Structure 1
Amino acid sequence: MSFKDKLLEELRAEAATISWEPRPAHRPARRLVAAAGLAAAVAAAMAVAVPLASETPAFAVIKNPDGTVTVRINEFVRPKDLEKRLREEGVPAVIDYVPYGQACRQPRGQIVPQPNRMPLRQAEDSRDFWIDPKDFGPDETLVVQMHSANGDVAKSNGGSVSVIRGSVAPCELVPAQFSGVDRE
């Protein structure tokens, strides 16, 4: 579901909570003023919502009915905001976007082996991925490190995903070690 669709759904849900009663034969003036004020507020909210909905957010985090969390990253900016949103949805996370050609010094903590489970699952034919908060044990944190393609914040050019048990060391930038074809 796109950001615009989610916003429109929320506005419709809010409008559905308004009680519309039949109009009495005579209406006191203050009720008429209150109704006019409500109509003006709804119109103002719609005027503000339309321009906001037309902008693409840097990321979207949506809690699914089954408890999983769907994530879409449109721009590799504001990683700490994404980290905060994931934590609000039950996913302990550390997100770092690093400059192209750089990486976080490893190790950043005790890596949890992932033989039969993946911390992120890619949705088919989509930029979305999903995470199940139940995949993380006590004191485990999802650690995502990504870098943009030659400084283009809309494109990723690699990174790493791991799960760390215990504290996660801050990202200390070091030159990246590329294997295989250079990604420039």
Structure 2
Amino acid sequence: MSFRDELLQELRAEAATVSWESRPARRPAAAAGLAAAVVAVVAVVAVAVPLASETPAFAVVKNPDGTVTVQINEFVRPKELEQRLREEGVRAVIDYVPYGQTCREPRGETVPQPQRMPLRRLDGPGFWIDPKDFGPDETLVVVMHSAAGDPAKSNGGGVGVIRGPVAPCELVPAEFGGVDRQ
């Protein structure tokens, strides 16, 4: 479900809680207060709906089962994505690197992949993770590079889990196997 659809669903749910039954006449002060509240709600909706039509760079949603769904639409603002994941209980280091480059390895003590599946892919540009999959000193590390410099298209990268400190990303040339997908 897109960010816009989620916002629309929330607005509809909120509107469903409003009673439209006629009520006895109110005092003028109460009517003025009600009018001000209605104007405020209309202003919020008028601002929220145009904003909802724009696709955000990313969305992070906490699911009822405690998992976290992440959708990345543009490979920009990685520190904001890290912060949102941290708010949902996932320590993460996100690096978006130029096409043809990657981060020098190793960046720390890698948790073996057969031991851990850090994320599960969804249909489309997203994945979900479970904060309970991570130990207290473990960090999700995502390195992605964009296709031909287009921040809306990924052309690969890597995902892993590091135990302990994560070294900063030191850019080095990436080695590609097979066809160059630029």
| Structure 1 Cα separation of the partners of residues 2 and 178 of structure 2 | 36
Alignment partner, residue 166 of structure 1: 164
Residues 35-44 or 160-169, more deviating: 35-44
Shift of 1:176: 1.3
| Structure 2 Cα separation of the partners of residues 15 and 87 of structure 1 | 32
| Structure 2 Cα separation of the partners of residues 12 and 95 of structure 1 | 34
Residues 15-24 or 132-141, more deviating: 15-24
Residue 137 of structure 2 is aligned to residue 114 of structure 1: no
Residue 8 of structure 1 aligns with an amino acid whose one-letter code is L
Which 5+ residue runs of structure 1 have no aligned equivalent?
none
For 1:115, what is the secondary structure of its paired residue? helix
Deviations 1:93-117 (A, max 9, x none): 0000001011111111010112143
Alignment partner, residue 128 of structure 2: 130
Supply the RMSD in Å over aligned alpha carbons. Answer: 1.7
| Structure 2 Cα separation of the partners of residues 18 and 90 of structure 1 | 34
| Structure 2 Cα separation of the partners of residues 116 and 164 of structure 1 | 12
Alignment partner, residue 49 of structure 2: 50
| Structure 1 Cα separation of the partners of residues 170 and 126 of structure 2 | 28
**TM-score normalized by structure 1?**
0.91
**TM-score normalized by structure 2?**
0.92
Residue 70 of structure 2 aligns with an amino acid whose one-letter code is V
| Structure 2 Cα separation of the partners of residues 169 and 18 of structure 1 | 52
Which 5+ residue runs of structure 2 have no aligned equivalent?
none
Shift of 1:183: 2.5
1:53-72 to 2 correspondences below 5 Å: 53-72=52-71
| Structure 2 Cα separation of the partners of residues 40 and 80 of structure 1 | 36
Alignment partner, residue 3 of structure 1: 3
